[in-house]
Amino acid sequence: MAKSKSATKEKKKKKLNVDWKEVAHLFLTSRAMDEKEESELVPQKKVLYQFSARGHELGQILLGKLLTNKHDAASAYYRSRPLLLSLGLSEEDAMAGPMAKSGGYSNGRDIGVVCNKPDKDGPKVLPMAGDVGSQYTPAIGWAQGIEYRRKELNEREYEGAISVILGGDGSVATNGFWSALTIATTQNLPVLFYIEDNGYGISVTSDFQTPGGVITNNLQSFKNLKLYDGDGTVPEESAELLEEAVSYVRDRKGPAMIRLTVPRLNGHSYQDNQAYKDDDLIEKEEKKDPLNKLKEYMVPEHVTERTWKNWQKKAKENIEEVAQAALNRPEPDTSETEKYVFAEDKVQTVGGLVVEDHSFPESSETPESEKQRINIVEAIRRTLKHELETNPKLMVFGEDVGQKGGVHAATMDLQSQFGKQRVFDTSLSEEGIIGRSVGLAYAGLMPVAEIQFRKYADPATEQLNNCGTIRWRTANRFAAPIVVRMPGGFAKCGDPWHSMSNEVFFTHAIGWQVAMPSNAQDAVGLLRSAMRSNNPTIFFEHRNLLDAKYARKPYPGDKFVVPFGKAKKLSEGEDITIITWGAMCERCEAAVEAQDIKADILDLRTLMPWDKEAVLKSVKKTNRCLVVHEDNKTAGFGAEIVSEIMKEAFMYLDAPVERLTMPDIPVPYNVGLMNSVLPTTEKIAKQVDKLLKF
Ligand X SMILES: Cc1ncc(C[n+]2csc(CCOP(=O)(O)OP(=O)(O)O)c2C)c(N)n1
Of 197-205, 278-286, 313-321, 610-618, the segment contacting ligand X by CB under 6 A is 197-205
680 HSE (CA, 13 A, CB side): 9
Q: Which is nearer to ligand X, 265 or 584 (CB)?
A: 265
- Site residues for ligand X, 223-252, by CB under 6 A, read none
Q: Which residue is nearest to ligand X (CB)?
A: 168
Cβ neighbors of 519 (< 8 A, separation 6 or more) are 376, 545, 550, 551, 552, 553, 585
Tally of CB atoms within 10 A around 274: 17
Q: Which is nearer to ligand X, 44 or 271 (CB)?
A: 271
Q: Which of 69, 175, 198, 533 binds ligand X (CB under 6 A)?
A: 198
Q: Which is nearer to ligand X, 79 or 624 (CB)?
A: 79
Q: Is the dihedral of CA 317, 318, 319, 322 positive or negative?
A: positive
Tally of CB atoms within 10 A around 575: 18
Q: Which of 123, 168, 402, 517 binds ligand X (CB under 6 A)?
A: 168
Beta carbon of residue 232, minimum distance to ligand X (angstroms, whole number): 12
Regarding 392 and contact with ligand X (CB under 6 A), the answer is: no
Q: Which of 171, 210, 411, 622 binds ligand X (CB under 6 A)?
A: 171
Q: Which of 8, 10, 22, 202 binds ligand X (CB under 6 A)?
A: 202
Contact (CB, 8 A) for 214 and 221: no
The stretches of 162-278 forming alpha helices (DSSP H) are 175-186, 215-218, 235-250
Contact (CB, 8 A) for 281 and 265: no
Per-residue three-class SS string for 601-670:
EEECCEEECCCHHHHHHHHHHHCCEEEEEEEECCCCHHHHHHHHHHHHHHHHCCCCCEEEEECCCCCCCC
Q: Which is nearer to ligand X, 467 or 483 (CB)?
A: 467
Q: By rule CB under 6 A, what string of x and - marks binding of each residue 81-120 to ligand X? A: ----------------------------------------
* 20-36 helix and 290-298 helix, angle to the nearest 10 degrees: 150
Which letter, b or e, does each residue of 589-615 get, where b requires 16 or more Cβ atoms within 10 Å of its Cβ? bebbeeeebebbbbbbbbbbebbbebb
Cβ neighbors of 458 (< 8 A, separation 6 or more) are 430
- Site residues for ligand X, 264-303, by CB under 6 A, read 264, 268
DSSP 355: G
Beta carbon of residue 167, minimum distance to ligand X (angstroms, whole number): 6
Regarding 170 and contact with ligand X (CB under 6 A), the answer is: yes
Q: Which is nearer to ligand X, 51 or 478 (CB)?
A: 51
- Site residues for ligand X, 53-82, by CB under 6 A, read 79
Size of the site for ligand X (CB under 6 A): 17
Of 162-170, 380-388, 513-521, 665-673, the segment contacting ligand X by CB under 6 A is 162-170
Beta carbon of residue 84, minimum distance to ligand X (angstroms, whole number): 15
Contact (CB, 8 A) for 628 and 599: no
- Site residues for ligand X, 116-135, by CB under 6 A, read 130-133
Q: Which is nearer to ligand X, 61 or 132 (CB)?
A: 132
Catalytic entry in 268, 386, 498, 542: 498
Pairing relationship of beta strands 537-542 and 568-571 according to DSSP bridges: unpaired
498 has catalytic annotation? yes
**d(Cα 66, Cα 538) in Å, to the nearest integer?**
38
- What are residue 219's phi and psi, to 5 degrees? -100, 10
Regarding 169 and contact with ligand X (CB under 6 A), the answer is: yes
Q: Which is nearer to ligand X, 409 or 510 (CB)?
A: 510
Q: Would you name the residues annotated as active-site residues?
A: 498
Give me the residues that bind ligand X (CB under 6 A), please: 79, 130-133, 167-171, 196, 198, 200-202, 264, 268
